[in-house]
Amino acid sequence: MDDHRKHQVSLRGASAREITRDALLEKVSQERELRNYTRRATAAAIFIQRVWRRYNVIKMVAVQLQEEWETLVNHHSVVMTRTWISSSLLRPFLFFITYLSIRHQSISTRDVSCIQHCFKILLESINSTATKRSYSNMNFCSLATGTPEERRIWAYEAQKLISICLFILSECDTNSGDQDTVVLSSMAMRLIVVLTDTKGWKSITVDNFRDADRVVKNLVRFMGSRKGGLYPCIRKYFSKLDASCSSLKNSVVQPDERFLITASAITLALRPFQTANLDVTEPGPLNVQYAAEQYCVHILTIPWLAQRLPAVLLPAMKHMSILSPCLQALLVMTDLEKENIKGDGRDASISDTSLFQGQFTQGLNHMLYVHVVNILAENLLDWLENVGWIRKDNQEIQENIETSANPIDLACSTDTTFGSMKMSYMDLFRPVCQQWHLMKLLTNMKNVAEIIKCNSSLPNNLEYTRKLELLDIAYLYSYMLRIFSVLNPAVGPLPVLNMLAFTPGFLVNLWEALESYIFPGDVKFSEDNDHCKSKICTDKNDGPCEKKQKQTSKDGGNKWVTMLQKITGKSQMDVDLVSGQARTSQVKEDTFDVWDVEPLRCGPQGISKDISCLLHLFCATYSHLLLVLDDIEFYEKQVPFTLEQQRRIASMLNTLVYNGSSHGNGGEQNRPLMDAAVRCLHLLYERDCRHQFCPPGLWLSPARNNRPPIAEAARTHEVLSAKADDALTIPSMASVITTTHVFPFEERVQMFREFIKMDKFSRKMAGEVAGPGSRSIEVVIRRGHIVEDGFQQLNYLGSRLKSCIHVSFVSECGLPEAGLDYGGLFKEFLTDIAKAAFAPEYGLFSQTSTSDRLLIPNTAARFLENGTQMIEFLGKVVGKALYEGILLDYSFSHVFIQKLLGRYSFLDELSTLDLELYRNLMYVKNYDGDVKELSLDFTVTEESLGKRHIIELKPGGKDAIVTNENKLQYVHAMADYKLNRQMLPLSNAFYRGLTDLISPSWLKLFNASEFNQLLSGGNHDIDITDLRNNTRYTGGYTEGSRTVKLFWEWKLTTSIACWIVIAGFEPKERCMLLKFVTSCSRAPLLGFKHLQPTFTIHKVACDVPLWATIGGQDVERLPSASTCYNTLKLPTYKRPSTLRAKLLYAINSNAGFELS
């Protein structure tokens, strides 16, 4: 077959002619395009027809409405009430005027008559002085303070009226001779002035003045906005005014009418400024920035403006309160224009090249430069401080002079001047945020020092004796941090702190300068350092294990120590405390003295201005760096400081903050230093709580000699919490109490119990306590639905949960269980509901992926029925347990507790929540190659109830690829989502329930690990002596009973101790015994005297035949327990071996009451 025939297609019966494939495809394409064109043409024709029909119909309806409206207005006999004006008069009027006049930008004679008639009726209604009975019913403006629906309709109609009035003003020409238009403009100005000023409203009373004032401000906000179009309309009117002095003589319009219209226009032009100045205390103030821009662009740029306006009106337009925002707006617009010019590449020479290209001017004397800037910065800060005090004084004057006609004149000049200073100074400070600026100063400082060191014969002149020092640079950046905080409040000093924190070596240089002053003797803390290094490699829950001093009889002593520990059941630390109390006390006192930094014992008042400056800059910079410093860098790489240096920093800040608070912070001049020190100390303390690097004595050292009594501290804390809003009058005790780590944990637990004791007493005095009797809360709980019944009956009680609650159980067979609740049944109910609801299978809480398996809210609980409410209810359960001192054997995640304490979680805390994710993020952070290879974006995928949800970590995160430049942002954004955003709704719900019973100020006494101890008890082994001293015996048992003695007592022989029961148990077995009896494996924090109900051993009589006793047999019955009453039901065993074996079998059987 030839090539021509090969590429042809036969159409068979369609045509006898054959065409090529390309021709066929081209023909099909042309036909498709023709069909598409025909379809688009048809759609366009239909659209044009629809628009034309709509226009015709609207026009016909508008004409018909106008005719009906004229008939109604000219021949009406209805009383003109506010409802009639709104619905029958204004509603059709606004429609036909908008479509017949405003849309066509012209007003016909017929429309002028309609508008005049409508405005006349409105003015008569607004100025109505009817009798009091019908007063509000006839005044149109009274709708603005009526029902929400009336307010909405009135606001819409008022805005439309304002737009019509402004259009009339823009069309007004006083020189044209059209008297009707001028009269109409005069009426329009009267109407708009009255609508935007509550003084012209006759319907205002004392009760609705606030609502009317808010409505008027909203109208002014609309009028000054882009949609209102106030300033373009006024410009059109002013531009038509004659600029010649003889204009008033030659004008056809009377001078009074022209003056009235012009004065009204100026009043409206200034009204957004005046309303904003009066609105300083209201939320959401008016956008003066936009109004100022429009005033500058449309009003101040009118040629011969001063000649066009009456001279008597010019002072109002030149007032400082008007011109200052305008000048500030001009500065902003100038900066934007510069950026646009530079962005377009038209003129890059507009900015100074020497300041913004990474270099100083050639030949600059750096020492003189820094000194001059420091002097100017100090003077600027003093001036800003004075302005701040003037503004505060003016606010007080405004509060006292409420009847003044113009109460803001005194403050407006300083406020606006202060505001305009911000924009003009920030550009000049831009080099301070750049790293080259600091690096060149540091380099110059080192070079000059080297020159002087190497050339000792240099002349002793000013050039070399006054060299640049680190202190000068510290003053410079300390001032800049404060200036940026004032002049740039939206961002604050973050640009400067970012640069300082990541400048190599700068933070280390600051610390070396501080260390030489604060620790001049270079004291080594070898004992505590060894302790802390060992603590870093072990779990914090193992408890403190201080290193003992070497002794000559160490080997022999250890044998007896081991045996005593085995016999008494006390930990190594407890034995050390008992055997060497005097020696340990001396060691502690020495440790306290080491960590109490002497130069800072008087707070910031006791240090020089130079040291205060270094401290402020160091604390501000280091606290910023700590936010992004991960645990690997802090503990393993130990950058930028070693752990020994970290302990010194912590002791320095701890001493400074405590003494500064207890002696008074020294006034406003020391506030920046104290704020930075508190922030840095808080970050170090939180890191130590999570992963200990400081000995406990470090935090306790400053307050060891002057801590107040527990009861006094608790009462003071309550008073200060009630006055937390008064930040200016905090007594010296305030920060001492709130700096909770200066109190030992046990004392803070006592303080917490004291709070509850005070709360119960106050409720009792107020008659709120529901004790035993008719005022108790009775609940009936089904065994098989304990969580659901508890939720339904207790969730809505709120703070009434603090009352006594009596529980009656219904068995699974539906029969009421016998028994009276004297506290034990409620404890059982609380324990059982926690056991069921906190179980991961229930779906409300899950366990972390770490080895601790701590509890954390399940994010899928949001999608469960009543999931959030159930989480809130569990917060109330935990709050009730804390309030009543009932231990729950559960521990929450550190991150979750941080949310309950109102604290933000940072990247390093992710390791306690999801160790695998933390390691992956650290891999990304330290990735050496191109992060784009990992194909990451700013999203996270979440699965819940079988569905996958993609959540953006930032707006547009799906399209944002992770690169080497933004990988730090990605790492912290991912950590922020997992640690804060994801669990925030559920943690807030739990917090609401918890704080129904426990005050937030009480919770702030503890950190995350301490909160878990407060809920579930101590972490150490059981103190058998304390348990024995606080045990009650019932059923016939006494402390001298044989079985009781076998349970507690022990005695030594010449070689080894006799068989012991509880004292011979391993620590884990003793905890299991405690859990067997009380349902919690941990002892109360303050000892067993605080266990509720009291630990009880109840006699279970088991008579054994005499022949069985002779034959060596003992009681076969197992011990049992009643956890609701903390009671161990112990049979009368005769031998310690039997007692031990039966107890071990019982506590390992995971049963209690059932063994009976």
Residue (of 97, 94, 240) closest to 178 by Cα position: 240
Contact criterion met (CB below 8 Å) for 829 and 1125: no
- Separation CA 930–CA 1011 (nearest Å): 43
Neighbours of 1010 (CB within 10 A): 18
- Separation CA 749–CA 540 (nearest Å): 19
Token pair of 352, please? 């100074």
- Separation CA 1015–CA 995 (nearest Å): 15
Buried b / exposed e over 1077-1103, threshold 16 CB at 10 Å, is: bbbbbbbbbeebebbebebbbbbbeee
Burial category of 453 from C-beta neighbours within 10 Å (exposed 0-12, middle 13-18, buried 19 and up): exposed
| Beta bridge partners of residue 1031, listed in sequence order | 1095
Neighbours of 646 (CB within 10 A): 20
504 phi/psi in degrees, rounded to 5 = -60, 130
Contact criterion met (CB below 8 Å) for 241 and 308: yes
Residue (of 815, 905, 825, 725) closest to 1079 by Cα position: 825
Token pair 């029961």 is found at 1061
| Beta bridge partners of residue 855, listed in sequence order | 847, 892
DSSP 214-233: HHHHHHHHHHHSTTTTHHHH
Q: Which residues contact 761 (CB under 8 A, 6 or more apart)?
A: none
Q: What is the 3-state secondary structure (H, E, C) of 152-178?
A: HHHHHHHHHHHHHHHHHHHHCCCCCCC
| Beta bridge partners of residue 845, listed in sequence order | 857
Residue (of 766, 883, 887, 796) closest to 835 by Cα position: 887
- Separation CA 900–CA 518 (nearest Å): 37
Active-site residue, selected from the candidate residues 165, 532, 1080, 1124? 1124
Residue (of 337, 349, 616) closest to 474 by Cα position: 616
Q: Residue type at 187?
A: M
Token pair of 131, please? 């009798």
Instruction: Give strand ranges (E) for 865-1004.
Output: 939-944, 947-952
What one-character DSSP code corresponds to residue 452? Answer: H
Whether 1124 sits among the annotated catalytic residues: the reply is: yes
Counted residue by residue, the chain has a size of 1156
For residue 845, give the H/E element and its range.
strand 845-847
For residue 873, give the H/E element and its range.
helix 867-884
Instruction: Give strand ranges (E) for 965-1107.
Output: 1031-1034, 1095-1100
CA 236, distance to chain mean position in Å, is 49
* Strand 805-810 to 939-944 pairing: unpaired
- Separation CA 1050–CA 736 (nearest Å): 46
For residue 1156, give the H/E element and its range.
none
| Beta bridge partners of residue 1100, listed in sequence order | 1131
Using alpha carbons, list the distances in angstroms from residue 68 to 59, 80, 93, 108, 1003.
Answer: 14, 17, 10, 18, 71
Token pair of 872, please? 């809130």
Token pair of 730, please? 């905090």
Burial category of 576 from C-beta neighbours within 10 Å (exposed 0-12, middle 13-18, buried 19 and up): middle
Positions marked catalytic: 1124
